């Protein structure tokens, strides 16, 4: 379970351009939930996702994973915690364009020296299989379509067996057919046990999710 308690965040604290991006946000995420966070541009969605996923320490409040306060861990423990437990999926995919699909998916396994090359190969193949891209594994990322790139990004997010996936507008650059396929893939991963936090501004993406939060001016409505 992830608990977000009284989280507020200001950018440029104390300066004339100070922005209050989050204002006293509290909610919890149960294991196996598929949470949607919806809101207009500038409402604080990305800030909230970064705070929950351990990338951005909030000005106030706490984020707790099963009683472990992530911002109280030593810096290297926070990144180790993220590498092992959390997967990220972004609107712009963030693939290495000249690396193959296979190479892109193998990247998160590299810092964890506990696996042999053979184990890495089988984990990467399994993840690519799961997203339906086994036949594209030797294609370079720049040679793939948008929908295929997002599948590679999802394979990269799940290859570490991360329990929680954070997706920041993963369908933002896709047409409706590909958006639909990516959402179905995320729904299937949720059915297989992944906890997912999805940011979107498309109402249709939130159909059937376990909880939908509407964010407005940094506040959950």
| Interface ranges with Mg ion (CB under 5 A) | 45-46
Question: Among residues 41 and 76, whose Cβ is nearest to ligand ADP?
Answer: 41
36 binds ligand ADP (CB under 6 A): no
Q: Which stretch binds ligand ADP (CB under 6 A): 38-46, 59-67, 120-128, 135-143?
A: 38-46
Q: Which does 91 bind (CB under 5 to 8 A by kind): ligand ADP, Mg ion, none?
A: none
Residue 57: Cβ within 10 Å count: 13
- We find the least distance from the C-beta atom of residue 209 to ligand ADP, in angstroms, to be 18
Site string for ligand ADP, 14-33 (x = CB under 6 A): -----x-x------------
* The only residue of 44, 58, 87, 108 in contact with ligand ADP, by rule CB under 6 A: 44
Enter the tokens of residue 164.
């929680």
Within 168-197, the residues that bind ligand ADP by CB under 6 A are none
Is residue 35 within 8 A of residue 214, CB to CB? The reply is no
* Listed ranges 35-43, 94-102, 103-111, 140-148: which one lies at the site for ligand ADP (CB under 6 A): 35-43
Query: Which pairing describes strands 19-29 and 68-69: parallel, antiparallel, or unpaired?
Result: unpaired
First-to-last C-alpha distance (Å) of the chain = 22
Q: How many Å apart are CA 127 and CA 134, to the nearest integer?
A: 9
Nearest to 182 by CA among 131, 138, 127, 144: 131
Rule CB under 6 A: say whether 160 interacts with ligand ADP.
Answer: no
Q: Are 89 and 170 in contact (CB under 8 A)?
A: yes
Residue (45 or 151) nearer to ligand ADP, CB: 45
Residues in contact with ligand ADP, total (CB under 6 A)?
A: 12
- Considering only residues 79 to 138 of the shown chain, the ones binding ligand ADP according to CB under 6 A are none
Q: Does 214 bind ligand ADP (CB under 6 A)?
A: no
> Residue 124 to residues 33, 95, 110, 164: CA-CA distances in angstroms?
25, 15, 12, 18
Nearest one of 216, 168, 217, 211 to 28, comparing CA atoms: 211
Among 23, 47, 150, 195, binds ligand ADP (CB under 6 A): 47
One of 1, 6, 13, 42 touching ligand ADP (CB under 6 A)? 42
Compute the distance between CA of residue 19 and CA of residue 129 in angstroms, rounded to an integer. Answer: 43
């Amino acid at each position: 379970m992830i608990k977000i308690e009284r989280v507020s965040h200001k950018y440029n604290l104390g300066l004339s351009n100070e922005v209050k991006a989050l204002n006293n946000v509290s909610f919890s995420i149960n294991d196996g939930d598929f949470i949607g966070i919806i809101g207009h541009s500038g409402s604080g969605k990305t800030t909230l996702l970064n705070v929950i996923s351990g990338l951005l320490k909030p000005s106030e409040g706490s984020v707790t994973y099963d009683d472990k306060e992530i911002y109280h861990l030593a810096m290297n423990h926070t990144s180790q915690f993220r590498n092992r437990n959390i997967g990220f999926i972004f609107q712009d995919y963030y693939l290495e364009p000249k690396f193959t699909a296979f190479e892109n998916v193998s990247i998160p396994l590299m810092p964890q020296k506990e696996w042999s090359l053979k184990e890495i190969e089988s984990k990467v193949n399994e993840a690519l299989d799961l997203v339906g891209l086994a036949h594209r594994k030797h294609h370079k990322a720049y040679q793939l379509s948008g929908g295929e790139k997002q599948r590679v990004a999802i394979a990269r997010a799940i290859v570490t067996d991360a329990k929680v996936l954070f997706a920041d507008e993963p369908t933002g650059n896709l047409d409706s057919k590909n958006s639909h396929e990516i959402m179905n893939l995320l729904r299937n991963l949720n059915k297989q046990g992944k906890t997912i936090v999805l940011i979107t501004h498309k109402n249709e993406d939130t159909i059937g999710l376990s909880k939908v939060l509407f964010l407005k001016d940094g506040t959950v409505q």
